[in-house]
Structure 1
Amino acid sequence: MGSIISASPEETERFGRRLGEGASPRSVFALYGELGAGKSTLARGLAHGIGAREPVTSPTFTLVQEYRSGRLPLVHVDLYRLEGPQEAEALHLEEFWNEPAVVVIEWPEKMEELLPPQTERWELLLLSENERMIRRKAG
């Protein structure tokens, strides 16, 4: 999967679901894109792809949300409100890198140098009000 054009939130979620279905323990997904690009929608699809049954929402205010009802635990991280790597480091997210979990990080540029080597980077680009390009981003 290199890139797709998504014409709706449902298509973005379906793409995320496919990523989640193929995810393995210790998978880390970094989601890049401006506000409204669909990062949380893609993360919701990922969660559903690993079988999470809880409602999946963006953890903008809590920063980290865990879902444990799927075939793998999912850790959903939203770093939007952080100032930079020092604040991200204080969250001790590296503890999740070695757990048999899937980690999804929105706004990963706030901690780029702390991401583990296995990170899959995905960029969501706004093409129009409804269309997004979702593409693999070079690490």
Structure 2
Amino acid sequence: MRIEKDVYGEVAMEGLGEVVSSALKMGGVVYLEGDLGMGKTTLVRGVLRGLGYQGPVKSPTYTIVEPYELPNLEVYHFDLYRVSDAEELEFMGIRDYFTESGLCLIEWAEMGRGALPEADLVVSLNLIRQGRHVSLEAQTEKGLAALKVLQEVITS
């Protein structure tokens, strides 16, 4: 199952993230795909705002992971752009972040191939005239359940 939507501007991308957060409250693994500057971190900021986080949200390009502890959910935002070998992730204990109730939002997941679990949901961002085309695709039963929650809200 897949949902597609065109988004215009940073505010709209953050708003989409807030909407998407409603389907991620039970955790999961989300791969965020797209070139540099496509709005992946902006989408993550929206997801975190939708989950109730009010602090600053920055890209973990240099730290690899930024943790966010919320009352009922631990969220981890990964940026694997600077990872040269998936084995580096094993040394940092990457598997410990993937719990049944945690939410892992992963930019540049292809850099961690072999060390990462399967994505429940893949969000792809592509450039279109004056905006971004966003595609959300389920990869697991958990991802399918999330898309079913979002289908009415996003496509309306």
Task: Using structure 1 for the length normalisation, give the TM-score.
Answer: 0.88
Higher Rg of the two aligned structures:
2
Q: 1:60-139 maps to which residues of 2 (within 5 A)?
A: 60-128=61-129, 130-137=130-137, 139=139
- Structure 1 segments, 4+ long, off by >6 Å, are none
- How many residues end up aligned between the 2 structures? 138
Give the Å deviation of 1:24: 3.3
Cα 1:55–1:97 shift into 2, 3 Å: same
1:2 aligns with: 3
2:55 aligns with: 54
Contact 2:27–2:73 under 8 Å retained in 1: no
Matches of 1:119 and 1:89, distance apart in 2: 21
1:79 maps to a residue whose letter is L
SS of the counterpart of 1:121? strand
The question of 1:41 aligning with 2:42 is answered: yes
2:13 aligns with: 12
For structure 2, the 5+ residue unaligned runs are 140-156
Give the Å deviation of 1:137: 4.4
Tell me the C-alpha RMSD between the 2 structures: 1.9
Contact 1:17–1:47 under 8 Å retained in 2: yes
SS of the counterpart of 2:111? helix
Task: Using structure 2 for the length normalisation, give the TM-score.
Answer: 0.79
Contact 1:50–1:70 under 8 Å retained in 2: no
Give the Å deviation of 1:11: 1.0
Give the Å deviation of 1:88: 2.6
Segment of structure 1 superposing worse, 86-95 or 49-58: 86-95
For structure 1, the 5+ residue unaligned runs are none
Identity score, percent: 30
Give the Å deviation of 1:118: 4.9
Cα 1:67–1:76 shift into 2, 3 Å: same
Give the Å deviation of 1:123: 0.7
